[in-house]
Chain A
Amino acid sequence: MLVHSRTGKWAARALFLVLFVPLFALPLLVILAASFATNWSGAFPSGPTAGHYTSAVRGESLQALTTSLVTALAASLLALTAGSWAALAAAALKKNGKRVLDALFMLPVAVPSVVVGLAVLVAFSQPPMLLNGTRWIVILAHTVLVTAFAYQSVSAAILRLDPVYEQAAASLGARPSYVLWKVKLPLLLPSLNAAAGLCFALSMGELSATMMLYPPDWMPLPVQIFTATDRGSLFTGSAVAVVLMGTTLLVLLAVSRIRTRASFR
């Protein structure tokens, strides 16, 4: 369309590959390759082994995986509830009220995650809410961080929702609560699903705030990867990273499966 000559087209594609492959595809491939290697001091890794995986799915690493899964699941469910509720409430408000709610719930995106971690640490290290040292402080911080994304995507979905459905339901005598349960939420289901997937993925990879406040007995995967690489065990770290990426991908895939089944149009 833009480039008409054959050579021009191929030149553009070549440029794309030269930029795209080393920058984006290579890093992921490198991690994958490294996770199966024992040594990498030349062009290619050497000493193929699956040993890192046997250690990545047992003991400490397995515990980190379950920690991450539980944290991500809890945080994304809490965030989805709070975010959707807020988005639905905001949509019913007048312009100024909606603006205030938008600003409040988008704020955690703008505040650095490290600062969110620090703030949660400062606030919940003193009575009456002494959560420091428990898993709850990690889950709380993750929830705060991903709620903004849940709010944002559900808000966008509500905006796209045609008001005629709601009006048709109201004209048929359905009160607002009935409209919410029987019309709006079912129609929003695909978006809620997508939001849940997004929150889950974000929580799975969250490192910044977690570094500030994880207790020794609740160490999620990203922290595990960091401590492994910090010790110099780059290859073990890579294997754990592959486990992290694989789990995230599997969950996202499952979510998108549910989503296609739930979309009506």
Chain B
Amino acid sequence: MTSGIRFDNVSVAYGGNTVLDSLDLTVEPGEVMALLGPSGSGKTTALRAVAGFVQPVSGRVFIGERDVTRLPPYRRGIGMVVQQYALFPHLRVEDNVAFGLKAQKAVKDEIPGRVAEALDMTGMASYAKRYPRELSGGQQQRVAIARALAIRPGVLLLDEPLSALDAQLRSGMLAELARLHRELPDVSILYVTHDQVEALTLADRIAVMDKARLQDCGTPQQLYRRPTTEFTASFVGNANLLPVTVGGEGAGVVSFAGTSLNVATGGATSGATATLCVRPHLVGLGEGPNALRGTVTEVQWRGATHRLYVDVGGHRLKADLRELRATPELGEEVTVHFAAEDAVLLGAGVSDG
């Protein structure tokens, strides 16, 4: 029953155009893996390769111990939920949920029980007799999830399942999905999204995709607090990416726009150029450690916070500050700072970017 997913060097191309480039990725049994990336990054293609709707030009896809690369979708034993729900419009909710069971010739007497169970789990039991067109978007999505769960798949593929819902419903469904996963701890979930909040909330691990390639993979905490690439740093959360040169007045020092900053440099070679990642909400206004002086170029009020854009030696620095009583004027000279442990050095060791 428990089965993970394994991509073994999987490449997909359409007419010479590579849309997924040598993906190696393992989703452990019972794990929620989010595939996060912008559009065109190859994340949906990866999911469709697991489902069997695209054929890799090379590499193999495993579900559990089974090589499914050449299997048609209907023999892969997956559950899938897509953005457009794809409920069968000519079938009632209960028949939609029973569809997979009937298609796989489940024992007749078991079907009503399993349909009821799946509908209960998603809170749609009282809608069993309705047609999909009589349901709201959120309700349709719950039915789609119930339909995928009814066949008790070892692997659940979710393709942007919440992106057709409005913001409020989305956070509700997010909590719902998290609850479902707690109730079904054995099911591996591959969750494709372009929304970092969904990925950070739901995933045990996040695989960051860009330009048809896997860029980074790790737990949400790792990726957020200790990103290893500029792309991850900027795509998972917000980031100031400052070009710095390692070294200067001793170890643990980098220089940025003529200012020396104390940060953990690890084993970085002195003299190498690198990128320093500092989250905007960890930047403070006023004097402190690692102080930088610059002029305010823009102030945005965002309700709970103020976003300040500060020009430091020709580089733009973002600072998210708790709502300020008095906002600085445009062009005013200010000092901002951040703690050494809040900065991460990226790409160190590479002598030239």
Contact = CB atoms under 8 A, between A and B. Distances in A.
- The answer on direct contact between A and B (beta carbons under 8 Å) is yes
Interface of A: 162, 164-165, 167-176, 178, 182-183, 186-187, 189, 264-265
B129 to A, nearest CB: 15
A229 B66 CA distance: 75
Q: Is the interface of A mostly helix, strand, loop or mixed?
A: helix
A165 B90 CA distance: 11
Contact of B52 (A165, A170, A176): A170
Contacts of A183: 88
Interface string B133-148: 1000000000000011
A56 B133 CA distance: 48
Given A171-B73, A173-B77, A175-B74, A165 B103 contact: no
6 contacts: A172-B74, A172-B80, A172-B147, A173-B75, A174-B104, A187-B90
Interface of B: 51-53, 72-80, 82, 84, 86-90, 99-100, 103-104, 131, 133, 147-148, 151, 157
B80 A168 contact: yes
Contacts, number: 79
A173 B133 contact: no
A67 to B, nearest CB: 37
A186 B222 CA distance: 49
Contact of A174 (B53, B80, B100): B100
Contact of B99 (A162, A164, A169, A176): A169
A199 to B, nearest CB: 23
A167 B151 contact: no
B80 A175 contact: no
Contacts of B72: 170, 175-176
Contact of A182 (B82, B103, B133, B151): B103
Nearest to A165: B86
Contact of B133 (A169, A189, A264): A264
Contacts of B77: 173
Residue with the highest number of chain B CB atoms closer than 10 Å, among A165, A170, A174: A170
Given A172-B79, A264-B90, 13 more contacts: A164-B82, A164-B84, A165-B86, A165-B88, A168-B87, A172-B104, A172-B151, A173-B103, A173-B104, A174-B74, A176-B74, A178-B103, A187-B88
A186 B92 CA distance: 13
A158 B90 CA distance: 16
